[in-house]
Amino acid sequence: MPTQIGVWRLDGPAPKRLPPGHLPTEAELETFLEHDPSLLGQRLLVIGRQVKTPYNKWIDLLAMDSDANLHVLELKRDRTPREVTAQILDYGSWVSTLDPGTIVEIANEHLARNRPAMEFEPAFNELFGFSPPDELNTEKITMTIVATSLDDSSERIVNYLREFGLAINAVFFSYLEDEDRRYLARSWLAPDSPSATTSSTPRASKKAEWNGRDWFVTFGESDHRDWEDARTHGFVSAGGGEWYSRTLRSLPVGARIFVHIPKYGYVGVGETIGEARSFAEAEVLSNGSWKRLSQHPLNAPYEHEDPGLESGIDMAEYVVPVRWETTVSKSEAYWVKGMFANQNSAGKLRQAFTLDRLIDHFELQDE
C-alpha cells in the first residue's frame, strides 16, 4: 500500500486537517503532468501526449529523462486492474521498438504545438543543460501508472511484475482543498521512486567509438539557405543564432561530412576544405580559385534579421567550403528507418548502422 498523506493547517489553536477533494477529470491531472512532469519527483521532458500507436491505442504521456531513457505515463482512468496493467505493458513493448528518428519525430510534432514552439534538441538542452546523447535509449523503458487510487488487485500485479525486474510503478496523487486554494500530494506504491533531486551535471552516456574522420551535417533548408546552391558552389551552412551555427563552426578542415536534410534524408558526401566564415566573408573554390560566395548567383539570401531580443546575438549565416565527392537532389535523398539524425548543425558520426549504409549507398571506397 502507498504511504497515506495527510495535510494539516496550523494557523489556529488546533491543527485543521485539509479535506480531500476530487479532480474534475483525470485529463486535468494529465495536463498538470504535461506542463510540469517534475511532479513525479524527477526532471522529465515530455515528448508526446496522446501518442497514437499502430494498434489504434493512445499513450497518455511519453517523456524522456536526462539519460535519454523513455518513460511511459499512463493514467488509470476507469479501467479494470487487468486493463491498466496490460495497457501500459503493451505501450512499453511498442515504445521499445522505436528507432531514434521516430522518437525525434514524435517529440518535434509534440513540441511544435507548445508556446513557444521548439524542436527536440534545443528543448532537451534547455531543460537538462546539455545536448542529448548520440544514441537515444529504447532498451530501458520506465512505465508509470498514474492514479488517484488503485485497487488491491492492481497493486499486487504491479508488485509481481517488479519482482521480475520490470521498471514499473504506480504513483498516486491526492487532491486537497483549503478554501480557495488547491493542493496536490504525491505518494508511490513502491519505495524506490525517483529522487526529487536531479543533478544538473551531465551524466556519462554510452557512445560508440568514433573513427576520427566522419561527421554529419544537418542542412536545414529554408528561406535562408538552399541545397542546390550548396551542391553547385561547394559549401554547407547554418546560422540564425549561436545555437544553430556553433557546431558547424567546430568542423575541422579535412573532415568527411555526410549531409542530411531533415524530413528527406542524406543527400551528399564531401570533404571540408576551409574553416567556417560568416556569409559576408565566406569564400568557395570555383574553377581552381577562391571566390566570395556572395558574388555567385544564389537562390537564397543567407542573411537573418536580428530579432533585437538581446544585444550581441550573432545571427550570421556561417559557411564551410566543401569539395563534393557526390551529391543528389533532395528528391533523391537516401533514408532508411533507424538511420542517425540530429538537430545539431554538425557533429561526429558514430553510428555504424548509418555509416555502413551511407558508404554502400554512395559507393565510397573505404579501407
**Residues 109-143: tens digit of each pLDDT:** 999 887 677 788 888 888 888 778 766 777 789 99
User: Which cell goes with 261?
Assistant: 536534410
In a domain, 199, yes or no: no
Query: 61-75, 81-95, 218-232, 256-270: lowest mean pLDDT where?
Result: 81-95
pLDDT level of residue 10 (50, 70, 90 thresholds): confident
User: What pLDDT does 39 receive?
Assistant: 86
Say whether both 163 and 78 belong to one domain: yes
pLDDT at 198 over 50: no
User: 151-169 as b/e, with b when 16 or more CB fall inside 10 Å?
Assistant: eeebbebbeebeeeeebbb
Say whether both 133 and 56 belong to one domain: yes
User: What burial class does residue 267 get, using C-beta atoms within 10 Å of its C-beta: 0-12 exposed, 13-18 middle, 19+ buried?
Assistant: buried
Say whether both 99 and 153 belong to one domain: yes
- Are 183 and 175 within 8 A, CB to CB? yes
With a pLDDT cut of 70, the percent of the chain lying above it is 88
Say whether both 236 and 165 belong to one domain: no
In a domain, 72, yes or no: yes
In a domain, 205, yes or no: no
In a domain, 204, yes or no: no
pLDDT level of residue 88 (50, 70, 90 thresholds): very high
pLDDT at 5 over 70: no
E strands, 53-158, in order = 58-64, 69-75, 137-147
Query: Using CA atoms, how far apart are residues 284 and 322, in angstroms rounded to an integer?
Result: 8
The string of DSSP codes covering 6-49 is: --EE-SSSS-EEPPB---S-HHHHHHHHHH-GGGGSS--EEEEE
Say whether both 22 and 138 belong to one domain: yes
Query: Using CA atoms, how far apart are residues 269 and 214, in angstroms rounded to an integer?
Result: 10
**Residues 261-310: tens digit of each pLDDT:** 999 999 999 999 999 999 999 999 999 999 999 999 999 999 887 654 45
In a domain, 6, yes or no: no
- Asked, as a colleague might, if the bond just before 19 is cis with ω within 30 of 0, I would say no
pLDDT at 2 over 70: no
- Distances in Å between the Cα of 154 and the Cα atoms of 108, 120, 185, 237 are 34, 35, 21, 55
Closest CA to 333 of 224, 271, 259: 259
How many Cα atoms sit within 13 Å of 197 on the Cβ side? 2
pLDDT level of residue 243 (50, 70, 90 thresholds): confident
Say whether both 165 and 287 belong to one domain: no
Say whether both 172 and 250 belong to one domain: no
E strands, the chain, in order = 8-9, 16-17, 45-52, 58-64, 69-75, 137-147, 168-178, 181-188, 214-218, 235-239, 256-261, 265-272, 277-278, 283-286, 289-292, 317-327, 346-348
Say whether both 147 and 234 belong to one domain: no
In a domain, 10, yes or no: no
Query: Using CA atoms, how far apart are residues 3 and 128, in angstroms rounded to an integer?
Result: 30
Q: Which residues contact 21 (CB under 8 A, 6 or more apart)?
A: 175, 176, 177, 182
Say whether both 30 and 163 belong to one domain: yes
Query: Using CA atoms, how far apart are residues 367 and 351, in angstroms rounded to an integer?
Result: 18
Domain count, the chain: 2
Q: Which domain holds residue 144?
A: 16-188
Final residue of a domain: which of 188, 222, 240?
188
Say whether both 123 and 265 belong to one domain: no
Query: Using CA atoms, how far apart are residues 34 and 218, in angstroms rounded to an integer?
Result: 29
In a domain, 367, yes or no: no
Say whether both 50 and 176 belong to one domain: yes
In a domain, 208, yes or no: no
CATH code of the domain covering residue 329: 3.10.590
**Residues 167-184: tens digit of each pLDDT:** 999 888 877 777 777 777
Say whether both 180 and 64 belong to one domain: yes
User: Which cell goes with 363?
Assistant: 559507393
CATH code of the domain covering residue 41: 3.40.1350.10
